[in-house]
Amino acid sequence: MRGALSSNSLRYRLTTLWKKDVWPKLFWGIRIAFGVFLFVSIALIFSTLIFIQSGSSNRDDRDDRRSGGGSLGFGRYGMGDFLFDVFYPRPWGYGPYYGYYGRVDPFDPKVRFPDEEDRPGIFEGIFSYIFGDGDPNRNVELARLREASKVIRDNGGAVTAEQLAPFCDVDDPDEMGNKFLVDESFVLPIVSQLGGEPVVTDDGDIVYLFPDLQVSALEEEFGDTYDSATFLEENSLEFSRNPSFGNVAAAALGVVNLGGAIYLGQILSSPSLIGVRLPAIYGLVQTGYPLLLIYALLFNTIPIARYFYTEKTNAEIAKRNSARRKWLTYLQVGGSKLKKKLSAAKSMRQKMRRLVGKDSEESVYDTRKKIEDLTTEREKEAMRRFDDLLD
């Protein structure tokens, strides 16, 4: 199907090119730029402070600095060498997706990459300290449907809400009170997305049938027991994949940068510099000082806000995981009412319909056929049905 889309859709080719080749490299550059700019900001701020303070006591020294001002932050003080020594990014285009460091998605078995450094380099580490490393649960909805589908197929396409609960966002059964075993609205997302049909039994219980999931072109056989069901466990959100020392170092650099920016602002606003235009690169620092200050403030405030957000999110994740685990326990050791519902669901199981063979009449679509032939066949079938109705 991808081959057909690539040969017929320019939009698909451009989208694929963007996702696989352009965006990974571009985002890699963005992450590196955040780290580089921190060192550049520190170098510019403190070299400007040195220039102003030394110039106030010796004009000749100020002139000398102005003539070679571009090298103050990167040559004389060795900042350039330091940057290149610590620069250790990942190679260009390593893997088509950037999200969590490690690039192994626990909820997508198709996304696997070769082994790589588990920790980011210093520049990527600075980006990680500020913004984190992505959402480890970004594909949890796909995992939810995949695992629920397996349970449904294992049980012949007929399941109860209790069998789907370990994969849903459901309340803790200990806190549901009177709603426990009565309110089954938590299964609606799975039921609607997988084409389920609720059926009421003679005893008033609800069993969900999934006829679409009982049609397969696969050769393997599925089991028929619910005892193999597990629960959907989300991963905790990490503040950063950096080691502790890396986060402390990034925070310390941020504080140094903010302190220098605040002090430079006091110097630039002093009466002695009102109306004075600094020469060379220091003039650019003087003009762009508001941007340097905003960067320094955001560098320090974003991680603090993100820390509290991470703690809140992890508490919610732990609560959902605990609720699913309790529902799984209840499913395994449930009482007579649950056993009666499971027995009713078992009696409604359907056999797996398999679409196998080159000329299977059950096939609804065959990628070997051209779209023109399929359209013609559909038109003929529609006319035949119309003639039957006339007869």
Q: What band does 343 get if pLDDT is binned at 50, 70 and 90?
A: confident
Residue 295 lies in a domain: no
Q: Quick one: 273 and 342 in the same domain?
A: no
Q: Quick one: 224 and 308 in the same domain?
A: yes
User: 318 pLDDT exceeds 90?
Assistant: yes
User: 217 pLDDT exceeds 80?
Assistant: no
Specify the DSSP class assigned to residue 242. S
Q: Quick one: 30 and 117 in the same domain?
A: yes
Q: Quick one: 182 and 123 in the same domain?
A: no
Residue 294 lies in a domain: no
pLDDT the model gives residue 370: 61
Residue 292 lies in a domain: no
Residue 293 lies in a domain: no
Helix 280-287 vs helix 289-333: crossing angle, to nearest 10? 50
Average pLDDT, the chain: 76
Number of domains in the chain: 2
pLDDT the model gives residue 35: 81
Q: What is the mean pLDDT of residues 101-125?
A: 58
Nearest to 159 by CA among 191, 189, 135: 191
Q: What band does 263 get if pLDDT is binned at 50, 70 and 90?
A: very high
Structural domain boundaries enclosing 332? 138-233+302-381
Residues with Cβ within 8 Å of residue 288, at least 6 apart in sequence: none
| 199 bridge partner residues | 207
Q: Quick one: 44 and 161 in the same domain?
A: no
Residue 169 lies in a domain: yes
Q: What is the mean pLDDT of residues 26-52?
A: 86
pLDDT the model gives residue 259: 94
Residue 296 lies in a domain: no
Residues with Cβ within 8 Å of residue 84, at least 6 apart in sequence: none
User: 88 pLDDT exceeds 60?
Assistant: no
User: 59 pLDDT exceeds 90?
Assistant: no
Residue 389 lies in a domain: no
pLDDT the model gives residue 272: 81
Q: Quick one: 142 and 124 in the same domain?
A: no
Alpha carbon 198 to its chain's center: 33
Q: What does the alpha-carbon distance between residue 84 and residue 78 come to, in Å, rounded to a whole number? A: 10
The phi and psi torsions of 197 (rounded to 5 degrees) equal: -130, 115
Q: Quick one: 257 and 213 in the same domain?
A: no
Q: Quick one: 125 and 55 in the same domain?
A: yes
pLDDT the model gives residue 225: 42
Lowest mean pLDDT among 97-106, 213-222, 230-239, 350-359: 97-106
Residue 81 amino acid letter: D
Q: Quick one: 57 and 205 in the same domain?
A: no
Q: Quick one: 184 and 308 in the same domain?
A: yes
Residue 356 lies in a domain: yes
User: 278 pLDDT exceeds 90?
Assistant: no
Q: Compute the radius of gyration of the chain from its Cα atoms.
A: 31
Q: What band does 255 get if pLDDT is binned at 50, 70 and 90?
A: very high
If one compares 88 and 154, the residue with the highest pLDDT of the two is 154
User: 362 pLDDT exceeds 60?
Assistant: no
| 159 bridge partner residues | 208
Q: Quick one: 20 and 169 in the same domain?
A: no
Q: Quick one: 112 and 179 in the same domain?
A: no
pLDDT the model gives residue 108: 63
Secondary structure, 3-state, 317-342: HHHHHHHHHHHHHHHHHCCHHHHHHH
Nearest to 346 by CA among 225, 231, 196: 225
